[in-house]
């Protein structure tokens, strides 16, 4: 189970990276990165998974005393939330940049923005 | 103490608070921003004080009321506090600098600035891996925002490139963190270190990902194209933060990671660091954009610090001192330079000539330059000293060589830049820096000096900023507003007083050098009375050189010796640079000198075997097989200063282009520093053999060749000062030859040359300088017939060349006499013949000084010129007196030295009886020679006067070479290309082979750098590919290991 | 072509790296020490039924503070970037076609419900799956819906900005109260931890999470509004 999820996550990352590095259109690059980010999030969650256990929320069916034996690892779940939020932030920032870049040159081709070099 | 959590809370809280203000209340928002930054800086400063002065123990700050591995904890100790202070102060000063921009953009921009500073604090403080990631992301995003402060159009593109690469970094970092958590069961950095993560299953791969991602934030070559674009395009005030503070925080993060990685990862850090250091300094060479060049330099410096962190296994407790020294020098200097770059309108390096005429800004620039180049008295100097010693002590010689090579490259382009400022084309517009920007830059400069004082105090050595000569020299910076003559009197008084103070402590050898350098220096300074106005910059430079010289001759240990060496090098560089066309020559001077200094440093370090306290005396005890290598390094280092053949190409230009009173200083005095070093070296290390080759024999050959080639080159010069300069190469060759003979007479001869060369070369440079001042040219074929107009100069030159050519009766003859006696005792015949041959060659060029300048026809345009200024003539006639006295009673100086040398070479001492001196080969009676020659001279002179009674004056005419069309006017003058036949015969010896060699070398470096930098194509995707390639290659390499 | 090939080659390298991680991975059978601590101590110490929430808001509260700062920062920068461009006024823009009956009516019906759901999600963050970030995103989706219905609709920047700033300040302020009245920065026990599973439990967590919800909602809205205002039409 965990291995499948992990493998899927890794494959998503590779697909995302391939897209981001080969598409010259800035918007496609941004979308590719969100695919890769999703892969990362999947990997994070998968690492916390323990076979046959339940979500880390205490209620009548899961008393505090049994928690340690019955819940999955809550830490990756907490981390993934942070990772998602940060991913959103960066995506939004990149979109704003893309907008501005398009405004300055009217082009969304990344290869058009290389005045600075060497 | 205020809890450090407030550093984070105050920054964030203020950022949020700004959102509540009305958009119009920009002044209030700005005030709030400054107050918050000042407050957090004050908290950091308070803690730093507590740790450094009161010796407080590091504190742990728990959050969430839960013990450490389970909730995020922060730690604050001495390094953290220092870095926090750095980050917050840089932020504060940049905010002050950005006053207009921030007020224009409003509170959102201020909030972003506050957050980036807060995030650096988080990176420094946190002990949790994931928390580290969060703060890194805050830096990434706020960088993305602050890049937009720039008015530069391309900033947007640069920011986007950064975002793309940071996406890749984020992905790797997150994957690494989650697998590290899985392997170690904790996110706490100390917990991971305790669990030795890299040993756990899957842990080392996870660590690799984390490490590579955080190292990528240090912009290592080659995965750093984006960073350079940011440096080029971003607002300089942001670049200051990015280079000084963000890089420091990231370095600290890497340091934390190395704690987890353990010793296995130290070599990786070292390799990445040193490659970045050397490569980016190389790539900086062909840059023309100031900010991009500073970017390369930043990458290099950070790479150097990473190298230091990677060497912590041998640096041990000194790591903090060394890394801190380099880091703070880098941070202060780089921030300062970026702030300065905001004052300069153009982006080309040459545009920085706009700084000229702004003494304060130039002072700041020089401070930053010296800090970056690791010159004394700044922290980088002490750090470099310790680093090189420890590296040498543990046999990491390749690394040592690479570090010194990179540092030399860096010094090269930085000093070239300084040359543009001082000597570039006159600025079109004068900059009027806004007061707040100026104060920010000046605060950085003063902070640099304060750090220098601090590091000097922390070092195990002499605090250079407490040494009297240096303080005296620096004091002239404060007196720049005084007229030159007052400063000149002060300088002379200082030199004489220092000599008198030191007099009782000098041994005879030191006494000779001290007399020449201090009293002799004072004598040359008398010529400086002729200068009008304030002469800004002259006295601090000159006195810096003299301070170095004064400290050099009394240095007891290698540290003081080396520090003095660097001080005198820098001082003389500034002096040389003052000449009208001296920029390229000053540059090659400083590059050769620093290269030589680095060899000396390496030599001392190798000799000391890791012990950074090393007395010069201990050179005697250096063991085989190290000793010959130490000898070679030190000897080459000293020979860069004496301009031995092969290392001489800087000298002619530097000496010839210098100002009238500077030429005698750098020729008559400065060259002796190299000889002094060689004396010390040979005195303590004696004869050494390397692969069966007697090294003193090699030196002897070098000396002989220098004498021959130097003299040969001198005869073909048209420029009188260049002629004298080349002749110095020859003279130093004699001295080197004498020293290398390693016997009594040889050393005595070398000392004779030390004294004589000082006297006659100073005198000749002054006379020729005076003539050049009056005629407006230094080309001899443009002069002629000046004997009637400048009779006093004529007498001085005549006496000078008599002394120099070594004919009786003047002191030069004494030199020759000892010289001929000495070479009779030499063990090797061939170099002896060479040096013997070069004697007559000297006549050829010396004779031209009289013949072409003073005799022959007077030029029309010179009919009305006057004798040289009084103050230039006065020292010349004092020299004449000295020559006479020294010729009559050479024992005055030599007798004691002769006895002193007997300690080392009891054989072959001269016999001093009355006024006669006897050697194994004959005797020399100066007084009788003087009488004999005087009688002959008077007789001949009288006869000449008698015969010449009826001589006619000849009208002026030109002799045109038959059959030649005079394309250039100088070809019509008889004195042009005077020794053409000799040139035909011997010209092959004067081919500029050496110059060609060094030029090819620098061209090669430049071309390589120019080709290599095309690697940075400017395409964001290519940069991302570079980064991935960096990761994959390192991964494969680390698998292989 | 060369570029594609290079990229593929490099990704193969990265893939090898990932494969190494994958093959070296063996799922834990037991919770590790950290997770076990949370499982055992959340209920008695923090009083939150949702352990993930306890971790997010308290144990790793500093991360979360950073997280909301990321959003704040992004919103500020997006505003900064876009504000530097041309800001079109309503009159300059050409008339857009009406959004259609279905969307208009649907949004009128849905917006209050979405807002309500959002508030529910963050208020109950310490008890049920969900929390401030999720709730905030739901709130912002209501704004998105309104913008879709009427792209030219304008929202008060001051209100949004005041909302996000106040929430941020309250978060930092509550965190600091922890330093003075409890065990440290962001300690939730400045209020009683109450009974496990009731709404008013887990100390100050529901308060913090509500403000996070408001803040996140405001920030997402701010980004959406900034983007929509500069939209070329």
Contact assessment for residue A87 and residue B166, using Cβ atoms and an 8 Å cutoff: no
Angle at C71 between CA C66 and CA C74, to 5 degrees: 120
* Tens-digit pLDDT profile for residues B470-503: 999 999 999 989 999 999 999 999 999 999 999 9
The verdict on a CB contact (< 8 Å) between B144 and A118 is no
Assess whether the previous peptide bond of B980 is cis (omega < 30° from 0): no
Nearest-Å Rg of the Cα atoms of chain B is 32
pLDDT of B554: 93
Distance of residue C137 Cα from the nearest chain A Cα, in angstroms: 10
Instruction: Rounding to the nearest 10 degrees, give the CA dihedral for residues B178, B184, B185, B188.
Output: -80
CA atoms within 13 A on the CB side of B660: 25
CA distance B888 to B891: 9
Reduced DSSP (H G I as helix, E B as strand, rest coil) percent helix, strand, coil of chain B, to 5:
75, 5, 20
Residue C230 three-state SS: coil
CA distance B274 to B305: 9
Q: How many helices (H) and strands (E) are present in chain A, helices listed first?
A: 4, 0
* Tens-digit pLDDT profile for residues B45-83: 999 999 999 988 999 998 888 888 899 999 999 999 999
Instruction: Rounding to the nearest 10 degrees, give the CA dihedral for residues B490, B494, B497, B502.
Output: 180
The verdict on a CB contact (< 8 Å) between B142 and C77 is yes
* Tens-digit pLDDT profile for residues B598-650: 999 999 999 998 888 899 888 888 888 889 999 999 999 999 999 998 899 99
Nearest to B635 by CA among B566, B563, B700, B707: B700
Which one-letter DSSP state was computed for residue B76? E
**Diameter of chain A by CA atoms?**
65
| pLDDT confidence band for B355 (50 / 70 / 90) | confident
CA distance B572 to B578: 10
* Tens-digit pLDDT profile for residues C115-145: 999 999 988 888 888 888 999 999 999 999 9
The verdict on a CB contact (< 8 Å) between B154 and A115 is yes
The pair of structure tokens assigned to A95 is: 């979109």
Contact assessment for residue B877 and residue B796, using Cβ atoms and an 8 Å cutoff: yes
- Is a pLDDT exceeding 80 seen at residue B361? yes
- CATH number, domain with residue A95: 1.10.287.3510
The pair of structure tokens assigned to C40 is: 């055992």
Q: Tell me if A98 is assigned to some domain.
A: yes
Contact assessment for residue B26 and residue B103, using Cβ atoms and an 8 Å cutoff: yes
* Tens-digit pLDDT profile for residues B653-678: 999 999 999 999 999 999 999 999 99
CA distance B795 to B781: 20
Residue A51 three-state SS: coil
CA distance B718 to B772: 13
List chain B domain ranges.
467-943, 1006-1040
CA distance B240 to B242: 5
Contacts of B942 (CB under 8 A, 6+ apart): none
Which one-letter DSSP state was computed for residue A63? -
Instruction: Provide the number of CB pairs (under 8 Å) joining chain A to chain C.
Output: 145
DSSP assignment of B793-804, as one string? HHHHHHHHHHHH
| pLDDT confidence band for B838 (50 / 70 / 90) | confident
* Tens-digit pLDDT profile for residues C167-204: 999 999 999 988 888 888 888 888 888 888 788 888 88
- Is a pLDDT exceeding 80 seen at residue A83? yes
Q: List chains adjacent to chain C, taking adjacency as at least 3 C-beta pairs closer than 8 Å.
A: A, B
The verdict on a CB contact (< 8 Å) between B141 and C59 is no
* Tens-digit pLDDT profile for residues B561-588: 999 999 999 999 999 999 888 899 999 9
Phi then psi dihedrals of residue C125, to 5 deg:
-55, -30
Nearest to B251 by CA among B279, B224, B217, B291: B217
pLDDT of A61: 85
Contacts of A22 (CB under 8 A, 6+ apart): B1021, C3, C4, C7
Give mean pLDDT, residues B1015-1019.
Answer: 87
The residues pairing with B61 across neighbouring beta strands, listed in sequence order, are B74
The verdict on a CB contact (< 8 Å) between C20 and B205 is yes
pLDDT of B371: 95
pLDDT of A109: 87
- B693-694 and B689-690 beta bridge pairing: antiparallel
* Tens-digit pLDDT profile for residues B186-227: 999 999 998 888 888 788 899 999 999 999 999 998 888 899
Angle of the B290-310 helix axis to the B225-233 helix axis, nearest 10: 130
Lowest mean pLDDT among B178-192, B956-970, C144-158: B956-970
Reduced DSSP (H G I as helix, E B as strand, rest coil) percent helix, strand, coil of chain C, to 5:
70, 0, 30
Angle of the C132-149 helix axis to the A74-105 helix axis, nearest 10: 30
Distance of CA B759 to the CA centre of its chain: 28
Phi then psi dihedrals of residue B63, to 5 deg:
-110, 165
pLDDT of B962: 46
Minimal Cβ distance to C22: which of A6, A14, A22 = A6
On the 0-12 / 13-18 / 19+ scale of CB atoms within 10 A, A99 is buried
Phi then psi dihedrals of residue B126, to 5 deg:
-70, 150
CA atoms within 13 A on the CB side of B987: 8
pLDDT of B906: 84
CA distance B670 to B634: 17
Phi then psi dihedrals of residue B775, to 5 deg:
-90, -15
B229 CB neighbours in chain A (<8 A) are: 116-117
DSSP assignment of B32-90, as one string? HHHHHHHHHHHHHHHHHHHHHTS-PPPEEEEBTT--GGGS-EEEE-HHHHHHHHHHHHH
Contact assessment for residue A103 and residue B146, using Cβ atoms and an 8 Å cutoff: no
| pLDDT confidence band for B968 (50 / 70 / 90) | low
Nearest to A2 by CA among B910, B504, B991, C21: C21
Q: Tell me if A44 is assigned to some domain.
A: yes
The verdict on a CB contact (< 8 Å) between C14 and B126 is no
pLDDT of B961: 46
Lowest mean pLDDT among A84-88, B75-79, C222-226: C222-226
The pair of structure tokens assigned to B16 is: 């949020």
CB burial readout B264-303, b (16+ within 10 A) else e: ebbebbbbbbbbbbbbbbbbbbbbebbbbbbbbbbbbbbb
Nearest to B498 by CA among B479, B524, B471: B471
Angstrom distances, CA of residue A82 to CA of A41, A46, C35, C73:
10, 16, 17, 15
* Tens-digit pLDDT profile for residues A12-57: 999 999 999 999 999 999 999 999 999 999 999 999 888 888 888 8
The verdict on a CB contact (< 8 Å) between C161 and B19 is yes
Q: Tell me if A63 is assigned to some domain.
A: no
- Is a pLDDT exceeding 60 seen at residue B965? no
Q: Tell me if A65 is assigned to some domain.
A: no
CA distance B648 to B998: 11
Give mean pLDDT, residues B96-115.
Answer: 91
- Is a pLDDT exceeding 80 seen at residue B277? yes
DSSP assignment of B227-247, as one string? HHHHHHHS-HHHHHIIIIIIH
Q: Tell me if A27 is assigned to some domain.
A: yes
Nearest to B41 by CA among B77, B11, B73, B79: B11
Helix (H) or strand (E) holding B855: none
Range of the domain at A21: 2-51+71-112
Minimal Cβ distance to C81: which of B62, B148, B205 = B148
State the SS3 of B642-665.
Answer: HCCCCCCCCHHHHHHHCCCCHHHH
Minimal Cβ distance to C67: which of A55, A59, A86 = A86
- B59-62 and B923-924 beta bridge pairing: unpaired
Which one-letter DSSP state was computed for residue B918? E
pLDDT of C91: 47
pLDDT of B1041: 54
Summary mean pLDDT of chain B: 89
Q: Tell me if A93 is assigned to some domain.
A: yes
A88 CB neighbours in chain C (<8 A) are: 71, 74
pLDDT of B970: 63
| pLDDT confidence band for B953 (50 / 70 / 90) | low
The pair of structure tokens assigned to A96 is: 């704003």
Give mean pLDDT, residues B268-290.
Answer: 94
Contact assessment for residue B179 and residue B201, using Cβ atoms and an 8 Å cutoff: no
- Is a pLDDT exceeding 60 seen at residue C93? no
The verdict on a CB contact (< 8 Å) between B145 and C77 is yes
- Is a pLDDT exceeding 70 seen at residue B954? no
Distance of CA B371 to the CA centre of its chain: 10
Nearest-Å Rg of the Cα atoms of chain A is 20
- Is a pLDDT exceeding 70 seen at residue B1040? no
Distance of CA B1033 to the CA centre of its chain: 37
* Tens-digit pLDDT profile for residues B690-713: 888 889 999 999 999 999 999 999
Interface test with chain B among C38, C48, C73, by most B beta carbons within 10 Å: C73
On the 0-12 / 13-18 / 19+ scale of CB atoms within 10 A, B103 is middle
CA distance B865 to C159: 84
* Tens-digit pLDDT profile for residues B81-95: 999 999 999 999 999
Interface test with chain A among C34, C52, C63, C80, by most A beta carbons within 10 Å: C52
Contact assessment for residue B44 and residue B91, using Cβ atoms and an 8 Å cutoff: no
Give mean pLDDT, residues B978-1005.
Answer: 85
> Which residues of chain C form beta strands (DSSP E)?
none
Summary mean pLDDT of chain C: 85
Greater pLDDT, B301 or C30: B301
Summary mean pLDDT of chain A: 90
CA distance C233 to C228: 10
């Amino acid at each position: 189970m965990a291995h499948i999820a992990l493998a899927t996550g890794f494959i998503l990352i590779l697909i995302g990276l391939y897209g981001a590095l080969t598409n010259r259109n800035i918007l496609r690059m941004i979308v590719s990165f969100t695919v890769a980010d999703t892969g990362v999030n999947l990997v994070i969650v998968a690492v916390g998974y323990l076979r046959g256990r339940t979500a880390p929320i205490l209620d009548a069916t899961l008393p505090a005393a049994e928690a340690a034996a019955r819940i999955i690892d809550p830490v990756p779940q907490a981390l993934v939330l942070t990772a998602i939020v940060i991913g959103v932030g960066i995506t939004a920032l990149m979109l704003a940049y893309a907008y501005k870049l398009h405004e300055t040159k009217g082009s969304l081709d990344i290869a058009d923005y290389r005045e600075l070099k060497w | 103490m205020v809890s450090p959590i407030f550093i984070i809370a105050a920054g964030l809280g203020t950022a949020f608070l700004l959102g509540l203000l009305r958009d119009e209340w920009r002044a209030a928002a700005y005030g709030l921003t400054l107050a918050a930054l000042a407050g957090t800086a004050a908290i950091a400063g308070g803690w730093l004080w507590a740790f450094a002065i009161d010796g407080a123990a590091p504190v742990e700050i728990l959050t969430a009321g839960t013990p450490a591995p389970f909730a995020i904890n922060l730690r604050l100790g001495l390094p953290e506090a220092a870095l926090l202070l750095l980050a917050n102060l840089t932020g504060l000063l940049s905010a002050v600098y950005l006053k207009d921009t921030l007020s224009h953009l409003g509170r959102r921009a201020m909030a972003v600035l506050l957050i980036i500073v807060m995030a650096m604090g988080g990176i420094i403080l946190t002990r949790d891996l994931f928390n580290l990631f969060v703060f890194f992301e805050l830096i990434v995003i706020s960088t993305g925002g602050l890049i937009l402060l720039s008015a530069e159009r391309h900033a947007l593109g640069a920011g986007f490139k950064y975002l793309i690469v940071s996406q890749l970094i984020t992905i790797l970092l997150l994957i690494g963190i989650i697998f590290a958590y899985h392997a170690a069961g904790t996110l706490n950095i100390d917990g991971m270190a305790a669990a030795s993560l890299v040993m756990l299953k899957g842990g080392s791969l996870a660590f690799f990902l984390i490490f590579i991602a955080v190292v990528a934030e240090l912009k290592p070559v080659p995965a750093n194209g984006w960073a350079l674009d940011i440096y080029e395009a971003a607002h300089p005030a942001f670049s200051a933060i990015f280079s000084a503070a963000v890089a420091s925080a990231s370095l600290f993060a890497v340091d934390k990671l190395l704690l987890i990685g353990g010793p296995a990862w130290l070599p990786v850090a070292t390799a990445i660091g040193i490659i970045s250091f050397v490569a980016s300094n190389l790539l900086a060479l062909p840059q023309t954009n100031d900010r991009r060049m500073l970017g390369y330099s930043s990458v290099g410096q950070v790479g150097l610090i990473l190298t230091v962190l990677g060497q912590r296994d041998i640096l041990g407790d000194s790591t903090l001192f060394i890394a801190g020294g380099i880091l703070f020098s880098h941070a202060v200097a780089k921030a300062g330079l970026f702030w300065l770059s905001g004052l300069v309108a153009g982006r080309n390096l040459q545009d920085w000539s706009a700084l000229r005429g702004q003494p304060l800004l130039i002072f700041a620039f020089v401070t930053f330059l010296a800090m970056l180049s690791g010159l004394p008295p700044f922290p980088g100097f002490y750090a470099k000293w310790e680093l090189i010693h420890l590296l040498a002590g543990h046999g990491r010689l390749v690394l040592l060589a690479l570090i010194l090579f990179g540092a030399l490259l860096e010094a090269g382009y930085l000093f070239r830049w300084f040359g543009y400022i001082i000597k570039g084309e006159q600025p079109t517009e004068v900059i009027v820096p806004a007061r707040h920007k100026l104060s920010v830059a000046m605060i950085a400069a003063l902070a640099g000096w304060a750090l220098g004082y601090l590091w000097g105090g922390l070092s195990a050595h002499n605090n250079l900023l407490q040494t009297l000569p240096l303080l005296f020299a620096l004091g002239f910076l404060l007196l720049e507003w005084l007229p030159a003559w007052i400063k000149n009197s002060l300088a002379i008084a200082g030199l004489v007083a220092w000599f008198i103070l030191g007099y009782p402590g000098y041994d005879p050898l030191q006494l000779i050098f001290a007399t020449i350098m201090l009293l002799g220096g004072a004598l040359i300074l008398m010529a400086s009375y002729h200068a009008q106005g304030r002469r800004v910059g002259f006295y601090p430079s000159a006195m810096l050189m003299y301070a170095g010289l004064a400290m050099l001759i009394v240095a007891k240990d290698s540290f003081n010796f080396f520090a003095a060496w660097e001080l005198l090098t820098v001082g003389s560089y500034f002096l040389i640079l003052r000449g009208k066309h001296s920029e390229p020559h000053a540059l090659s001077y400083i590059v050769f000198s620093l290269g030589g200094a680095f060899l000396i440093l390496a030599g001392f370090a190798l000799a000391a075997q890791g012990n950074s306290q090393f007395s010069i005396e201990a050179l005697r005890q250096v063991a085989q097989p190290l000793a010959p290598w130490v000898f070679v390094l030190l000897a080459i280092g000293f020979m860069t200063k004496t301009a031995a053949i092969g290392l001489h190409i800087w000298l002619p230009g530097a000496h010839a282009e210098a100002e009238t009173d500077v030429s005698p200083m750098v020729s008559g005095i400065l060259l002796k520093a190299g000889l002094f070093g060689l004396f010390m070296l040979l005195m303590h290390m004696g004869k050494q053999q390397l692969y069966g080759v007697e090294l003193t024999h090699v030196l002897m050959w070098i000396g002989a060749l220098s004498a021959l080639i130097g003299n040969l080159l001198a005869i073909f010069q048209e420029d009188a000062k260049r002629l004298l300069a080349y002749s110095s190469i020859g003279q130093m060759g004699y001295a080197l030859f004498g020293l290398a003979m390693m016997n009594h007479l040889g050393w005595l001869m070398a000392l004779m040359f030390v004294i004589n060369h000082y006297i006659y070369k100073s005198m000749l440079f002054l006379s020729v300088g005076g003539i050049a001042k009056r005629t407006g040219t230094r080309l001899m074929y443009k002069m002629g017939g000046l004997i009637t107009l400048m009779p006093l100069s004529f007498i001085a030159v005549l006496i000078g060349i008599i002394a120099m050519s070594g004919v009786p009766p003047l002191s030069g003859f004494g030199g020759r006499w000892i010289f001929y006696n000495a070479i009779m005792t030499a063990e090797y015949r061939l170099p002896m013949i060479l040096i013997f041959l070069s004697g007559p060659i000297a006549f050829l060029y010396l004779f031209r000084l009289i013949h072409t300048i003073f005799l022959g026809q007077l030029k029309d345009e010179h009919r009305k010129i006057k004798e040289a200024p009084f103050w230039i003539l006065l020292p010349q006639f004092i020299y004449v007196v000295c020559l006479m006295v020294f010729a009559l009673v050479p024992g005055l100086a030599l007798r004691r030295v002769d006895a002193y040398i007997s300690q080392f070479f009891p054989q072959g001492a001269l016999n001093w009886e009355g006024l006669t001196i006897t050697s194994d080969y004959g005797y020399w009676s100066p007084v009788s020679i003087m009488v004999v020659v005087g009688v002959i001279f008077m007789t001949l002179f009288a006869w000449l006067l008698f015969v010449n009674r009826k001589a006619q004056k000849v009208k002026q005419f030109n002799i045109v070479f038959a059959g030649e069309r005079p394309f250039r006017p100088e070809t019509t003058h008889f004195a042009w290309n005077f020794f053409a036949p000799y040139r035909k015969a011997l010209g092959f010896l004067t081919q500029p082979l050496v110059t060609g060699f060094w030029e090819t070398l620098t061209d090669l470096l430049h071309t390589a750098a120019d080709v290599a930098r095309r690697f940075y194509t400017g395409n964001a995707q290519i940069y991302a590919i570079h980064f991935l390639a960096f990761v994959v290659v390192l991964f494969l390499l680390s698998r292989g290991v | 072509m060369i570029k594609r090939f290079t990229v593929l080659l490099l990704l193969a390298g990265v893939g090898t790296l990932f494969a190494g991680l994958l093959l070296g991975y063996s799922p834990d059978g037991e919770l590790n020490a950290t997770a076990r601590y949370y499982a055992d101590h959340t209920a008695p110490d923090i009083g939150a039924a949702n352990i993930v929430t306890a971790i997010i808001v308290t144990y790793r509260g500093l991360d979360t503070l950073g997280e909301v700062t990321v959003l704040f920062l992004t919103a500020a920068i997006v505003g900064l970037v876009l504000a530097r461009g041309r800001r079109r006024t309503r009159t300059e823009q050409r008339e857009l076609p009406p959004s259609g009956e279905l969307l208009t009516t649907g949004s009128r019906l849905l917006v209050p419900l979405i807002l309500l759901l959002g508030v529910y999600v963050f208020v109950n963050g310490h008890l049920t799956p969900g929390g401030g970030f999720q709730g905030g995103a739901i709130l912002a989706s209501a704004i998105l819906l309104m913008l879709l219905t009427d792209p030219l609709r304008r929202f008060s920047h001051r209100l949004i900005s005041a909302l996000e700033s106040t929430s941020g300040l309250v978060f930092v302020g509550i965190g600091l109260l922890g330093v003075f009245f409890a065990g440290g920065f962001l300690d939730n026990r400045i209020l009683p931890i109450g009974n496990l599973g009731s709404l008013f439990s887990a100390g100050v967590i529901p308060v913090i999470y509500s403000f996070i919800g408001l803040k996140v909602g405001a920030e997402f809205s701010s980004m959406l509004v900034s983007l929509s205002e500069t939209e070329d039409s």
